[in-house]
Structure 1
Amino acid sequence: MVREISVGNVVFGGNRPLVLIAGPCAIEDEALTLRIAAFLKELTTELGIGLVFKASYDKANRTSVTSFRGPGMTEGLRILAKVKAEFDLPLISDIHDISQIAPAAEVLDIIQIPAFLSRQTDLLVAAGESGKIINVKKGQFLAPWDMKNAVGKIESTGNDRILLTERGASFGYNNLVVDMRSLVIMRETGCPVIFDATHAVQLPGGAGTASSGQRQYVGALSRAAVAIGIDGLFWEVHENPDKALCDGPNSLPLQDLKGMLQDILAIDAIAKGHNGN
């Protein structure tokens, strides 16, 4: 049985309804971040779905040295703290080295380990020692059954508040593919499992000096994953994805979210036997 993990009034796991993790890929500026948070808060309240707000203060693994990375940790955490204060939302963001854990833990409710760092023992252990909920993104190079080792590293600290996220596996050059079996296999660890549908349609480095993406497939993959019985869905969203400074090609426009979520929540209720309740 998958354990339940609570953050504020949001609960992942068990047989609870789906939780949405959403926000812009990177913090571009304070005003845009607050507008997106306000939109997501209103929408998820209307639909009765739990929300965790996501935005990165630093995107350390961009394709090019000239790519936009975000405002940095100090300014980014200040903006995220304002999101929490104004909208009473749990927060998640990435950390990239051990020195970031302590300041991030003062603001974030969930510390995220990026996919490329999912084997880094010292980082996983230090994150676990923070006592925060840890979301580990499965590396594009890892088999789903390998994630039990990442779980074991964090659990060695006495922290079992762990989420696992599927975001696709490398499939040749500049392409990812999702093995839906991985969602089932990773849930066998007892950890709630998240499906990162927007990164799953990313084409890493596909635009030469930047990644490309195929956002037209996000809805189909999301519906398939939810039908399996996952615990959370991860979407990067933007007011105007074509002008986003990070991951625009695989981000969803805000105006598309309501219809997609209504369909997905109906599937989630059937998959978990909630009968829409």
Structure 2
Amino acid sequence: MKYPLENLTDTEFEILVALICSEILGTGTIVFSDGKDGGRDAEFKGTANNFPSKASPWIGKIIIQAKHTQRNNASCSESDFQSILKISVVPAIKKLKIKNEIDYYLLFTNRKLSGVQHPKIEDIFDAETEIENRVIGLEQIELWLKQYPEIVKRLNLNKLLLPLSFDENDLRLIVNSFYNLDKKKGDLSKIPENRDIENKNKLNALSKEYFDNVIKKNLIYFEQIRRFLADPINKEYLDKYENTIDDINAKIIIHRTDFEKFEMILEFLYDFVIENNPELNNKRRLVRLFLNYMYYNCDIGINE
């Protein structure tokens, strides 16, 4: 999944970089407070865990710098970034070298970094400072976020995926109303037999593991949801339900490629609803139940 890191604040991006460094370098990564950083946002002293490789890790004083931009699709090849390197970064490294406070330099940026531009930037550092260095661009950061999903969770990076957000108030009202009913296990024989759920799962890239362990156990309540929505007395909630699935489906169609598997979409929607409606925390099972029902009932996702 790709996160719009340009929507982070500079401080949030620095924290992201520090968390990545805690993984690739070690927990000894020290983060400095905001303000004049003297060319460093964090540092690590010792033997790196696995950077640049596990076989040949850096050993010594590693200085870490984060250069964040709020521009979408920004690139390291652009003139403003080149100016930052020459006017700000290189002089800072030289000062650190004079003080014997640096052996290696790591520069993180959320800009795109091409295979052509990468060695050119490192050559600038090599020629000007003679300090071994690496430039980490957006592509590598995205790979590390996949490798270390706990960082995504700790920083709640899913909040950046606002294009998939929707007005969850209708779903909140539906859940609250359904919560007051006695939950009854339905007759599985009443679930439509002509539904090719295996094909739907394949079309939507929803894993068998997720279906068997999450959605399948909720099937026994789907008939009660169907009756609840079909009851004329609940027409108000049926209207809210139909508006909700219409909104969600439109968002999914537009942003489907941002999510590798469909269960990631369902779980994002679940987290979004719970985080924005703390009062549903003790009813969170019902939030997932309704999202599962939407999927199984072919109200969201690709059906053919």
TM-score normalised according to structure 2 size: 0.26
Question: Which is strand-richer, 1 or 2?
Answer: 1
Greater relative contact order (CA < 8 Å, ≥ 6 in sequence): 1
Larger Rg: 2
Q: Which has the higher helix share?
A: 2
TM-score by length of 1: 0.28
